[in-house]
A and B are shown apart, each in its own frame.
Chain A
Amino acid sequence: QQQVKQSPQSLIVQKGGISIINCAYENTAFDYFPWYQQFPGKGPALLIAIRPDVSEKKEGRFTISFNKSAKQFSLHIMDSQPGDSATYFCAAKRGQAGTALIFGKGTTLSVSS
């Protein structure tokens, strides 16, 4: 049972465009939703995270939009740059102690110059 579903699997965006990656979750007990960025041969790096008490969070060119009723959240990368080319993972977690992050399968983003 896949608790966090991520789409698309791959994405090609032109430089300066908007990259949008979507995730849906099933467990209504999840209350922490981070996004991670991973470059080849490296470990995932925390990019931005949101809790369900807000509908949107912005950090620089990266924005998370959260729809609690639809159980969906998305990552928007504005003004996408070739340096943004990486694999992006959404994740979700229950807030209580003793639980681990559950990850989506990832989206490989390629930003063409």
Chain B
Amino acid sequence: NAGVMQNPRHLVRRRGQEARLRCSPVKGHSHVYWYRQLPEEGLKFMVYLQKENIIDESGMPKERFSAEFPKEGPSILRIQQVVRGDSAAYFCASSLYDTEAFFGQGTRLTVV
């Protein structure tokens, strides 16, 4: 029974490149959440998606960041023209209903 799968686990990008983070939720889960974690910080909510719909993107920067959860395939968090400040751990979580959320192992993005 696979949990939330995120890939890649580690991603290095040069400033100005695009970063694409993938998240496959627990089988059958239709709610996906993305969080960002900086060192010594908690988990900051970014975006909440259901299949083919963005429900809440209030935590996502207005520029350069986008997210999708297509009918088929994983959820994608895309960061265009990355800057050093984007370096962080990005976690995806999924839930069957909108309570218990299970997290993946995260993608650690380093911008050089």
- A residues sitting closer than 8 Å to B (CB atoms) are 6, 32, 34, 36, 41-46, 49, 89, 93, 95-106
Contacts and interface: CB of A to CB of B under 8 A. Distances in A.
Contact of B102 (A46, A98, A103): A46
Contacts of A49: 99-100
Contact of A46 (B59, B91, B101): B101
Q: Give the secondary structure class of A's interface.
A: loop
B105 interface: yes
Given A43-B104, A101-B45, A103-B44, 18 more contacts: A34-B100, A41-B105, A45-B103, A46-B101, A49-B99, A96-B98, A99-B56, A100-B33, A100-B45, A100-B56, A100-B59, A101-B93, A102-B45, A103-B42, A103-B45, A105-B40, A106-B41, A106-B42
B42 A105 contact: yes
A89 B91 CA distance: 14
A13 B89 CA distance: 28
B57 to A, nearest CB: 10
Interface residues of B, number: 25
Interface in B50-76: 55-56, 59
A45 B44 CA distance: 16
B55 A98 contact: yes
Contacts of B101: 34, 46, 101
A98 B48 contact: yes
Contacts of B41: 105-106
